């Protein structure tokens, strides 16, 4: 099936007389007739549900759909994007190990890698995504267990050269984790370019309506854990009566281990209700992503022509430095987020306060157009020097184009620019 059909249909096949729509199984537990059946479930010999921390029918249907959309072998939903990032790294690295990450990543992920994981004994080497030599050198550092990057970086709007990153990671027998939140599988499927694990904050375009937080980890099913010396996958897990993930779960050792070991112990599952809401979002993802991209391109072209605006970043623009990679990895569609610079904080505030249709929100990537001023909100704690290092200019505005009529979005920006 084509991706448009998968968005609508994948993951749930009702049997005779069952609900047409995947039901919300709002139940923590499941009833069985015999102790033997429950034993088999615990031994992972039978498929089924026993406790919603580990698996639940609503969550399972949505996991199956997302695995299908990405072209992976299995998926596991989490309570948020942050939980997905955390579990994907902890599945590979332990105290004393290292990871390598692109320096152009989501601020929350940067803090997780730079502060919290560091406190847990996992060091992160950050590299400029375009610094090939730096990347080569970093992945060869002793103890590196994972390489991490974002398809379309939030907020830098840089496109990751996934093929190059995958090749370099594999040269050192280390898997590549790609955060595909901003592109979504409709615009880019990182497994097709060599990624090994894909994660998302489903709170953004996948949910699409700004109603439910969530995250997901998808297993590409191809990485050779034996070659990389990842004993936690290839030798018996004593905490799960000796299961060897690469033997018993050849197709999806990564997600199986993340579920039965890390989700079991850390418990950061999504709620069945949020999984249900996420599924409603996924049903229209294939319609929304082209519309977000089309609107954002027209808005970026409008902003680019206005002399009051110093610069516009949008990978969908032919003149943008990221456009060649955007064509290769995202079919030329730039997704919905634009950043532009009006010169200083005061002007940015005047422009944003004058907007009517576009609302000030600390969120991006939903159906409604929203604006955010990084220097006074998400990056408020940074000094001017740190802001400059993070590539955040004081007059920079991040605009998340919704799926309204683009003429209305542009008219709103036009009147606000006149009030700036
Ligand atoms: C928002 C976001 C996250 C974090 O996701 P939450 O669901 O807010 O925890 C991670 N990565 C990217 C690229 C994001 O945009």
Q: Does residue 155 line the site of ligand 1, with CB under 6 A?
A: no
Nearest CA to ligand 1 atom 4: 81
Nearest CA to ligand 1 atom 1: 201
Whether the pTM exceeds 0.85: the reply is: yes
Q: Does residue 293 line the site of ligand 1, with CB under 6 A?
A: no
Element (H, E) at 330: helix 323-330
The phi-psi region of residue 246 (left if phi > 0; otherwise alpha if psi is between -120 and 50; otherwise beta) is alpha
Distance 394 CA to ligand 1 centre (A): 23
Q: Which stretches within 173-284 are classed as H helix?
A: 184-187, 231-234, 245-248, 253-257, 264-266, 272-283
End-to-end CA distance of the chain: give it in Å, rounded: 49
Distance 382 CA to ligand 1 centre (A): 19
Following CA atoms 271, 189, 318, 202 in sequence, which dihedral angle do they give, to the nearest 10 degrees?
A: 0
* Pocket test residue of 149, 150, 204, 210 for ligand 1, highest count of atoms within 8 A of CB: 204
Cβ atoms 118, 250 nearer than 8 A:
no
Q: What's the rounded Cα separation, in Å, for the pair 167 and 17? A: 49
Q: Going residue by residue through the chain, which has 420 residues, state the pLDDT in tens, using 9 for 90 and above.
A: 999 999 999 999 999 999 999 999 999 999 999 999 989 988 888 888 999 999 999 999 999 999 999 999 999 999 999 999 999 999 999 999 999 999 999 989 999 999 999 999 999 999 999 999 999 999 999 999 999 999 999 888 999 999 999 999 999 999 999 999 999 999 999 999 999 999 999 999 999 999 999 999 999 999 999 999 999 999 999 998 899 999 999 999 999 999 999 999 999 999 999 999 999 999 999 999 999 999 999 999 999 999 999 999 999 999 999 999 999 999 999 999 999 999 999 999 999 999 999 999 999 999 999 999 988 887 787 777 777 776 788 899 999 999 999 999 999 999 999 999
Residue-level pLDDT at 374: 86
Distance 219 CA to ligand 1 centre (A): 19
Under DSSP, is residue 126 helix (H, G, I), strand (E, B) or coil?
Answer: strand
- Return the residue matching tokens 């406790």: 51
* Pocket test residue of 80, 81, 212 for ligand 1, highest count of atoms within 8 A of CB: 81
Q: Does residue 201 line the site of ligand 1, with CB under 6 A?
A: yes
Distance 299 CA to ligand 1 centre (A): 24
Distances (CA, A) of 322 to 161, 334, 355: 10, 10, 28
Q: Does residue 253 line the site of ligand 1, with CB under 6 A?
A: no
Strand partners, 74: 219
Q: Does residue 158 line the site of ligand 1, with CB under 6 A?
A: no
Distance 162 CA to ligand 1 centre (A): 19
Under DSSP, is residue 3 helix (H, G, I), strand (E, B) or coil?
Answer: helix
Distance 30 CA to ligand 1 centre (A): 32
Q: Does residue 109 line the site of ligand 1, with CB under 6 A?
A: yes
Q: Does residue 103 line the site of ligand 1, with CB under 6 A?
A: no
Residue-level pLDDT at 376: 85
Q: Does residue 102 line the site of ligand 1, with CB under 6 A?
A: no
Residue-level pLDDT at 46: 85
Q: Does residue 106 line the site of ligand 1, with CB under 6 A?
A: yes
The DSSP secondary structure of 143-204, one letter per residue, reads TEEEEEEESB-TTT-PBP-HHHHHHHHHHTT-PEEEE-TTTHHHH--GGGGT-SEEEEETTT
Q: What's the rounded Cα separation, in Å, for the pair 354 and 63? A: 41
Distance 379 CA to ligand 1 centre (A): 15
Q: Does residue 80 line the site of ligand 1, with CB under 6 A?
A: yes
Q: Does residue 257 line the site of ligand 1, with CB under 6 A?
A: no
Residue-level pLDDT at 139: 98
Residue-level pLDDT at 349: 94
Nearest CA to ligand 1 atom 6: 81
Distances (CA, A) of 389 to 101, 255, 315, 385, 393: 17, 36, 21, 6, 10
Distance 201 CA to ligand 1 centre (A): 4
Distance 182 CA to ligand 1 centre (A): 9
- Backbone phi, psi, residue 359, to 5°: -100, 150
- Backbone phi, psi, residue 88, to 5°: -65, -35
Cβ atoms 390, 382 nearer than 8 A:
yes
Q: Does residue 150 line the site of ligand 1, with CB under 6 A?
A: yes
Ligand 1 atom nearest to CA at 82: 9
Burial of residue 418, with CB atoms counted within 10 A of its CB: 0-12 exposed, 13-18 middle, 19 or more buried: exposed
Element (H, E) at 301: helix 285-305
Cβ atoms 365, 336 nearer than 8 A:
yes
Q: What's the rounded Cα separation, in Å, for the pair 56 and 59? A: 5
Q: Does residue 81 line the site of ligand 1, with CB under 6 A?
A: yes
């Amino acid at each position: 099936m084509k991706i448009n059909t998968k968005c609508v249909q994948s993951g749930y096949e009702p049997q005779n007389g069952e609900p047409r729509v995947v039901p919300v199984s709002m139940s923590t537990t499941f009833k069985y007739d015999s102790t033997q059946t429950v034993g088999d479930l615990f031994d992972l010999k039978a498929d089924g549900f026993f406790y919603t921390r580990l698996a639940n029918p609503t969550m399972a249907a949505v996991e199956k759909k997302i695995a299908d959309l990405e072209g992976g072998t299995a998926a596991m939903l989490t309570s948020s994007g942050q939980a997905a990032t955390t579990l994907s790294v902890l599945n590979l690295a332990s105290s004393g190990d290292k990871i390598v990450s692109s320096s152009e990543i989501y601020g929350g992920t940067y803090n997780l890698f730079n502060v919290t994981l560091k406190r847990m004994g996992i060091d992160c080497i950050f590299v400029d995504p375009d610094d090939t030599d730096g990347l080569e050198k970093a992945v060869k550092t002793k103890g590196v267990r994972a390489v991490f990057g974002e398809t379309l970086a939030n907020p830098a709007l840089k496109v990751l050269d996934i093929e190059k990153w995958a090749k370099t990671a594999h040269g050192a027998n280390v898997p590549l984790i790609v955060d595909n939140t901003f592109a979504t599988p409709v615009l880019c499927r990182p497994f097709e370019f060599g990624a090994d694990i894909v994660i998302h904050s489903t709170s953004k375009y996948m949910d699409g309506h700004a109603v439910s937080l969530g995250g997901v980890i998808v297993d590409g099913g191809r990485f050779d854990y034996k070659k990389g010396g990842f004993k936690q996958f290839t030798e018996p897990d004593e905490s799960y009566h000796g299961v060897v993930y690469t033997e018993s779960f050849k197709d999806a050792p990564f997600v199986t281990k993340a579920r039965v070991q890390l989700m079991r112990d850390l418990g950061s599952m999504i709620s069945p209700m949020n999984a249900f809401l996420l599924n409603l979002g996924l049903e229209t993802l294939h319609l929304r992503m082209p519309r977000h991209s089309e609107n954002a391109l027209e808005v970026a072209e409008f902003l680019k022509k206005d002399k009051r605006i110093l610069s516009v970043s949008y990978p969908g623009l032919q003149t943008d430095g990221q456009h060649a990679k955007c064509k290769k990895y995202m079919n030329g569609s730039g997704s919905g987020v634009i950043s532009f610079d009006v010169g200083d904080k005061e002007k940015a505030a005047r422009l944003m306060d004058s907007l009517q249709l576009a609302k000030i929100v600390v969120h991006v990537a939903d159906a409604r157009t929203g604006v955010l001023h990084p220097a006074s909100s998400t990056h408020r704690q940074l000094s001017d020097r740190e802001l400059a290092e993070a590539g955040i200019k004081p007059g920079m505005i991040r605009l998340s184009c919704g799926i309204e009529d683009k003429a209305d979005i542009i008219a709103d920006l036009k009147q606000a620019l006149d009030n700036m």
